[in-house]
Amino acid sequence: MTPDIVYDQLIGMGCARKLVFSWGGNPGVGSLHRLRDAVEHGWPRPLELEEHSHAGMAAAYAAGAARLPFGVLRGYRGGDLPAHTRVATVTCPFTGEELAAVPAHRPDVGIVHAQRADRRGNVQLWGIAGVQKETVLASERSIVTVEEIVEELTPRPDAVVLPSWTVTAVCVAPGGAHPSYTHGYYDRDNDFYRAWDSISREREHFLAWMRRHVLETADVEDYRASLAEAVVA
């Protein structure tokens, strides 16, 4: 939906050929420097962009989850975005209203983070769920990282449960949403978002950070330990 720091890391390491999104930036701070470098200078490789509105992206994921070819919404009017992205118009057969249509998102692999799963592979998440459920259902395969594995999922009035048959793999990754938050487990790391602006601004500084804290760490706990060491130093 809205790429921020994790996307910036993937782009800066040359892992992305195309970005389909509805907004991109370092929330509350400014630009994503690795995204800008790829778009403006083709480093480390050119990046193709396909931009949509938030509502358009949500409709595309919902259509993919329902195995429909496209999503329908009222939108994409009054601006020039339709001239620069994949959107068409359809006429409602019942009312004659002209509506916007966006192609369904059907990822090969969808990756989301949730609070917990049980040992049978059922996943429970709550808070601002966004399109996490739709992403899993729309994808050919899905990976869900979770804060913990529990014996039984405690019912919650505001929780979304993804049954095991919708999920390809569950991976335990405590703190896996960092630097964002996981509702009920930990808060957003605002200091990290601010620090990322200088970390990512220059290519060599970014690459050195990625080597130390991502490529040279074994798992999410090792990653968190490396960040703690950097703060102490």
When divided into structural domains, the chain yields a total of: 1
- Tracing tokens 């992205």 back to the chain, one arrives at 85
**Tens digit of each residue's pLDDT (9 = 90 or more) over 193-204:** 999 999 999 999
Any domain includes 203: no
In 46-108, the DSSP E strands lie at 48-51, 70-73, 88-91, 98-103
**Tens digit of each residue's pLDDT (9 = 90 or more) over 11-58:** 999 999 999 999 999 999 999 999 999 999 999 999 999 999 999 999
The share of the chain scoring above pLDDT 70, in percent, equals 99
Burial label for 184, CB within 10 Å (0-12, 13-18, 19+), is exposed
∠ at Cα 133 (132, 139), nearest 5°?
90
pTM over 0.85: yes
C-alpha dist (Å) from residue 16 to 38, 187, 227: 10, 28, 25
Any domain includes 8: no
Any domain includes 130: yes
Any domain includes 196: no
Any domain includes 231: no
Any domain includes 223: no
What residues have CB less than 8 Å from 118, skipping those under 6 apart?
149, 150, 151, 152, 153
Q: Would strands 70-73 and 98-103 be described as parallel, antiparallel, or unpaired?
A: antiparallel
Q: Please report the pLDDT score of residue 197 as a whole number.
A: 97
d(CA 23, CA 178): 20
